[in-house]
Amino acid sequence: MRGLVIKNTGSWYTVMPDGETVTVECKIKGTFRLKGIRSTNPIAIGDRVQYDITPDGYGLISEIEDRRNYIVRRSSNLSKHSHIIAANLDQVFLVVTINYPETSTMFIDRFLATAEAYRVPAKLIFNKIDLYSDEEKEYLDMLIYLYENIGYPCFKVSATKNIGIEEIKTELKDKITLLSGHSGVGKSTLINAIDPTLKAKTSEISDYHNKGMHTTTFSEMFPLAGGGYLADTPGIKGFGTIDMKPEEVSHYFREIFAVSKNCRFGNCTHRHEPGCAVREAVERHEISQSRYTNYLSILEDGVNGKYR
């Protein structure tokens, strides 16, 4: 039998069989784990799987079908392992907050680079716009100007005040979409604003640390009334890249890759080589200093693997 993995609780997987409306709880076939998958989760939400029903009534997954794409990060506990967040996506929305808690450009750029590397179209949702000071709103508009000029669609919303939600609903129609971001940026509140019947669990921000507290403890895909699925995953603290070759990293920064064809050397890493068009563009403010700095930080991942 064939189906779509819509929930992952660690050891059990909820699968929606093709052409059915009743889910099946599944486990992984024992030998399946021995195929050398260097991942903390060999199966992710969004995976298409083959399974058999056991005499006990649950499913036994025997095969994952080839993924067309996925979002992956370095495991927070096992540096040599990856953690696949979701697979077979039409798009990903990274939920960003300027404050309450703050999302750094480091986190944004690492996420966007990974989306580029694994061919997932990415968009940015800037949430909690009702809470920001005038200074924070200026910074918000500056970030939107930066990312829209690179080619990433940006949306300003307030999930609690229902601002900008209809536009998001239009973007989600008939698509499989991943919502990702730090804990506390309002992913669950956003899901409830999009479809109140889903009743995603929410919680308050920690006032002491101005950081989010985990409310989603496992990954789940919600079917949308207008068609498509919306995938919610536990909040991410850091975003360590994995399996990015140094010579390929610039390919995942659109504006750096576009300028790099003018570098003197074809294998320029844009760090110290003479005749580097990218560094010249940074000096002329044609490439953002923050984007360039974050590009360099990903190059360092391959050296020390410290970033999580």
Instruction: For residue 15, give the nearest of 84, 65, 55 by alpha carbon.
Output: 65
Query: Which bin fits 76, alpha (ψ -120 to 50), beta or left (φ > 0)?
Result: alpha
Please spell the DSSP secondary structure of 100-119, one letter per residue.
SSPPPHHHHHHHHHHHHHTT
pTM score, whole prediction: 0.89
Give the number of other CB atoms < 10 A from CB of residue 132.
18
3-class DSSP assignment, residue 299: helix
Instruction: Give me the mean pLDDT over the 97-123 stretch.
Output: 95
Distance between CA atoms of residues 85 and 191, nearest Å:
18
Output the pLDDT for position 24.
97
Q: Which tens digits make up the pLDDT trace of 171-225?
A: 999 999 999 999 999 998 999 999 998 876 664 444 434 444 444 468 899 999 8
Output the pLDDT for position 212.
44
Backbone angles phi, psi at 104, to 5 degrees: -80, 155
Output the pLDDT for position 207.
42
Q: CA 121: distance to chain centroid?
A: 10
Distance between CA atoms of residues 152 and 90, nearest Å:
15
Output the pLDDT for position 205.
43
Q: Which tens digits make up the pLDDT trace of 41-78?
A: 889 999 999 999 999 999 999 999 999 999 988 766 55
Which residue has better confidence, 238 or 170? 170
Output the pLDDT for position 187.
93
Q: Contact 58/25 with Cβ under 8 angstroms?
A: yes
Output the pLDDT for position 308.
42
Which residue has better confidence, 38 or 269? 269
Residues of the chain with CATH 3.40.50.300: 70-232
* Superfamily of segment(s) 249-304: Probable gtpase engc; domain 3 (1.10.40.50)
Q: Which tens digits make up the pLDDT trace of 127-149?
A: 999 999 999 999 999 999 999 99
CATH number for the region 2-64 comes to 2.40.50.140
Burial 41-65 (b: 16+ CB within 10 A, else e): bebbbbbbbebeeeeeeebbbeebe
- Is it true that the peptide bond before 101 is cis, omega within 30 degrees of 0? yes
- Residue with tokens 């239009």, as numbered in its chain: 170
pLDDT surpasses 80 at 251: yes
Output the pLDDT for position 29.
85
Residues of the chain with CATH 2.40.50.140: 2-64
Q: Contact 92/178 with Cβ under 8 angstroms?
A: yes
* Stretch among 93-102, 186-195, 227-236, 264-273 having the lowest mean pLDDT: 227-236
What kind and span of H or E run contains 34? none
- 295: tokens are 């590009």
pLDDT, averaged across the chain = 88
pLDDT surpasses 90 at 110: yes
Please spell the DSSP secondary structure of 174-213, one letter per residue.
TEEEEEE--TTSSHHHHHHHH-GGG-------BTTTTB--
* Stretch among 174-178, 260-264, 300-304 having the lowest mean pLDDT: 300-304
Pick the CATH number of 70-232 from 3.40.50.300, 3.40.50.1360, 3.40.640.10, 2.40.50.140: 3.40.50.300
Which residue has better confidence, 163 or 241? 163
Percent of the chain having pLDDT more than 90? 72
Any idea how long the chain is? 308
